Structure 1
């Protein structure tokens, strides 16, 4: 599959908004009136699905991308890749931990494969950008493809080699291929943030354009309602 080269650096010029928190005592001020209620799914129902974990910048954007993909049942925003226990948004977003903003993807392997999710991951962000994605800078926004077993690791590494052999990107891929350890679910107000906050400046200027670029290049991967 040919992955289109997106003008990611243009995102910097669009807005000064950022996924990073402002110097405020509480993050609740970031959340507008909830227009979309987060649907709680019974954990037992999710047990029948497989999981995949990725980090590729602000998790608001990444969650929205994977939720648009057919075969994906649920996506949670959270933190992974570090060693600190029970990190908070403020700690991660200010670079006070070794975690990255990440997503937990529950998917039906009969409808979408792990290989296809890896394609979605690489095709929806810039894997050549070190510790940065769009206007967000810092190791907490680095690119990581997590694997839970040797088979998943091979899928990721083989796909990286394929991308490199086809010269899809002008710069070297810097994505970390990392064994999955623990995922810490983010605070509730981060879940479905794009749906809940359509008028947020970051969502309008960064997240939605990123999602739309993905949709344009992966039409066959989309849920019917995402078209």
Structure 2
């Protein structure tokens, strides 16, 4: 027993140390200065996390002015995250999407409206049955103007609904593109049970309640 106690103390020390290091690393991400992605060929980029990226990708691609939505990971403190690693909840990353859009057609403010209109704004660490920090809601800002838009819309929605809005607000740092098989998942796997029972109903709920003039005829 005496031999075991020092070993347990040793393990607990490094376990706590690793946890503290992880928390410190995540806090550094939250407190960092945002990275701004320049407009290229008239197209801007924006980043959102809102549950399963299969769902979010399809929602944004249904909107006029959105050229492409790419699934990936963002918001964490580890490099080169994978689907398996992010699902452990220990990387700090959330499933996210990179939105490539034409700011002359759709504004960043409208993209934020789409974000809030397409989710349960009160659910912490998940959407629906997808639960865990990897599914948490995060809006990423690249500059102070975007941060102001996000915070104003979040505060306004909280006042309007009389609820606490779960979405976190992070400075954008880096977007890691997800594995190839995740891209355009809803389009490529329309008969997948998750797509049929979760993604498509979520997309249809969004489309039913969003101004039709802002939506594409098809996506």
Same fold (TM over 0.5): yes
> Matches of residues 57-206 of structure 1 in structure 2 within 5 Å?
57-167=51-161, 171-206=163-198
Give the equivalent residue in structure 1 for 2:208: 216
2: CA distance between counterparts of 1:179 and 1:194? 29
Tell me the number of residue pairs that the alignment of Structure 1 and Structure 2 aligns: 180
2: CA distance between counterparts of 1:201 and 1:165? 37
2: CA distance between counterparts of 1:67 and 1:46? 19
C-alpha contact (below 8 Å) 1:46/1:106 kept by paired residues: no
C-alpha contact (below 8 Å) 1:145/1:156 kept by paired residues: yes
Highest RCO, 1 vs 2 (Cα 8 Å, sep ≥ 6): 1
Uncovered stretches (5+) of structure 2, i.e. residues with no partner: 1-38
2: CA distance between counterparts of 1:223 and 1:110? 16
- 1:50: how far off? 0.5
Uncovered stretches (5+) of structure 1, i.e. residues with no partner: 1-44
2: CA distance between counterparts of 1:78 and 1:47? 22
1: CA distance between counterparts of 2:125 and 2:160? 24
1: CA distance between counterparts of 2:190 and 2:180? 17
In the superposition, the TM-score normalised over structure 1's length comes to 0.77
The structure with more helix, counted as a fraction of residues:
2
Q: Deviations over 1:173-216 (max 9, x none)?
A: 12101100000000011000011111111000000000000010
Tell me which structure has the larger Cα radius of gyration: 2
Q: Which moved more, 1:91-100 or 1:112-121?
A: 91-100
Task: Give the CA RMSD over aligned residues.
Answer: 1.4
In the superposition, the TM-score normalised over structure 2's length comes to 0.79
1: CA distance between counterparts of 2:79 and 2:121? 27
2: CA distance between counterparts of 1:119 and 1:147? 14
Residue 99 to residue 225, structure 1, CA distance change in 2 (3 Å): same
What SS class does the counterpart of residue 128 from structure 1 fall into? coil
What SS class does the counterpart of residue 165 from structure 2 fall into? coil
What SS class does the counterpart of residue 51 from structure 1 fall into? strand
Residue 147 to residue 138, structure 1, CA distance change in 2 (3 Å): same
2: CA distance between counterparts of 1:171 and 1:93? 28
